[in-house]
Structure 1
Amino acid sequence: MGPHKHITLATDFYSASELLPASVFNAMAALAFIASAILALLSIQTPSLKPLLGYLLVTISLVPLVSLFAETRWIASMGGFPVIGSGQGVIKYFALLSIAILFIKPQLPHKQAIWLNIAPVMLVLLWIGGMKFTAIEAKGIEDLVLSSPLMSWMYQLWDVQTTSNLIGVYDLVAVVLLIAAIYYHKLVLPAIVMSGMVFVVTQTFLISFDASISADTLLTSTGHFLIKDLWFIANLILFYLLLKQQSPEKKTA
């Protein structure tokens, strides 16, 4: 329903925008996500469908991820890579990709599965957390923070850039804690809570930030960007479950 600029950016990258109307590409994306939701529900009762679901999610993930090679995903005025612009929403597909791989290869070695699930979380916290130290990102999150009853108080204590810096520091500390938790399992819960709060608070913006909701399409591009953080919560749950499955011998190794 309606235009979606991020789909258009992807089709532009693949030189496909002129082949079909934008509404057709929107419908294709919608059908792919709906099909994955249906397969996810069916696979609960029929586990043999999980590999099929995994391959579909791999396709859904790779189409936008490959478009990261497009210059439009980076902020050219700040030197381009690694200063990420519209690609901030795209890198979230790494979370979905990791889940897909686990569906396809459930017998993946335990340590690899652990890193597979936590790597996307660390990537987004490190990358977007690092962006918080730039003026363009500090300004970019200002309206979101102002709308939030959980975060708006920060502007009463600090200016826009300092507030953004503090959020960035929080994100980077969460990354360190997640890495430490892999080797020191007593840190697992604090690490998951600290990093998980980033994504939980993001979901509250869907309520507090009016521009995330559209009367025509339910979610705006901003809303789509925000709701994708649910994938990282899934990564964290899988990370926790995988660590819990480790034997006592491996935990102390």
Structure 2
Amino acid sequence: MLLIGPHKHINLVTDFYSVTDLLPISVFNALAALAFIASAILALLSIKTPTLRPVLAYLLIVIGLVPLISLLSPTRWIADLGGFPAIGSGQGIIKYFALLSIGILLLKPQLSRLKAAWISVLPVMLVLLWIGGMKFTAIEAKGIEDLVASSPFMFWMYNFWDVQTTSNIIGVYDLVAVVLLVAAIYNHKLVLPAIVMSGMVFVVTQTFLVSFNASLSADTLLTGTGHFLIKDLWFIANLALFYPLVKPEKAEA
């Protein structure tokens, strides 16, 4: 966040907690950046020093909870569509469930495989279900138009379908991926198809960082849009944790 300059989402969070006027927004921006940098350093150190994992877990839980609680603010929802569950600026916020999930799993390694599998994959299901569902609205279809048009993997869709139909197809893909993830928990043969199908959503999202000019800035490296896009990497981490919990057991010789 030190690289993206002032971020409106940090402003929304500080407004929710009524602390915006206590310090300059640059200070809140720096605090958020330092929290993420600290979590990255702790993650690397905990590979060799497992005793640091609880510290990392608590930090990730705090980083996740602070913005997530701000979902209680009406500013996160689209009033013209009736408010909750029509999510607006909260689209970037619900991605913090991914960090919350990782923190819980680090803190509770004794959980059963089934419970751990659900905790690891719930954030993925949530974002695919929620944002995928929003794809059926005109405001979301229009909102992703420039992103899709810039993509070397998706631009061709507009050659066959209009903006809304293209968005609907993407939404259906997301919802099918959710169903497949649920099924994979109980049918191990579906694990790889489920992870590949859902994982492709987040992999393709990362290509927008290159194809969509508005995601990068010469001054701050990432714009607000780039910041929104790169957070999808967290879900790839969720899927990486999910796989060993539900992968098919090797047949005995």
Settle same-fold status: TM greater than 0.5: yes
Instruction: Find 1:206's aligned residue among 201, 206, 209.
Output: 209
Percent of aligned pairs with the same amino acid: 78
1:72-221 maps to which residues of 2 (within 5 A)?
Answer: 72-221=75-224
Q: Give the total of aligned pairs.
A: 249
How many Å apart are 1:102 and its aligned residue? 0.8
Query: After TM superposition, where is structure 1 displaced by more than 6 Å over at least 4 residues in a row?
Result: 245-248
CA distance in 2: counterparts of 1:205 and 1:27, whole angstroms: 26
Letter of the 2:108 counterpart: K
- The alpha carbon displacement at 1:180 in A equals 0.8
Q: Which residue of 1 aligns with 2:25?
A: 22
- Please say if residues 189 and 248 of structure 2, whose CA atoms lie closer than 8 Å, have aligned partners that are also in contact: no
Pairs within 5 Å for 1:215-234: 215-234=218-237
The structural deviation recorded for 1:245 is 7.8
Structure-2 separation of matches of 1:132 and 1:119: 20
Instruction: Read off the aligned partner of 1:139 and give its amino acid letter.
Output: K
1:251 maps to: none
Q: Per the alignment, in what secondary structure is the counterpart of residue 92 of structure 2?
A: helix
Residue identity in the other structure for 1:156: N
Q: CA deviation at 1:17?
A: 0.3
Secondary structure at the residue paired with 1:198? helix
- Output the amino acid matched with 2:149: L
Q: Deviations over 1:86-133 (max 9, x none)?
A: 000000000111001111111112111000011111110000000000
CA–CA distance in structure 2, aligned partners of residues 209 and 142 of structure 1? 11
Deviation at 1:244, TM superposition (A): 2.9
1:207 shift after superposition: 0.4
* Alignment partner, residue 45 of structure 2: 42
Unmatched 5+ stretches in structure 2: none
CA–CA distance in 1 between the matches of 2:72 and 2:56? Answer: 26
Contact map agreement 2:68 2:94 (CA 8 A) in 1: yes
- When normalised by structure 2's length, the TM-score is 0.96
Partner of 1:237: 240
The CA deviation at 1:247 is 8.7
How far apart in 1 are the matches of 2:211 and 2:236?
A: 20
CA distance in 2, matches of 1:100, 1:245: 25
Whole-Å separation in 2 of the counterparts to 1:101 and 1:80:
30
SS in 1 for 2:247: helix
- Measured in 2, the distance between the counterparts of 1:113 and 1:80 equals 32
State the superposition RMSD in angstroms.
Answer: 1.4
2:15 paired with 1:9:
no
Instruction: Kindly provide the CA deviation profile for residues 211-233 of structure 1, in whole angstroms up to 9, marking residues without a partner as x.
Output: 11112221111111101111111
Aligned-partner residue type, residue 225 of structure 1: F
2:9 partner amino acid: H
1:134-187 per-residue CA deviation (whole Å, 9 max, x = no partner) reads: 000000000000110100000000000000000000000001111111111111
The residue type paired with residue 109 of structure 2 is: P
| Residue identity matched to 2:87 | I
SS of corresponding position for 2:149: helix
Separation of aligned partners in 1, 2:8 and 2:112:
39
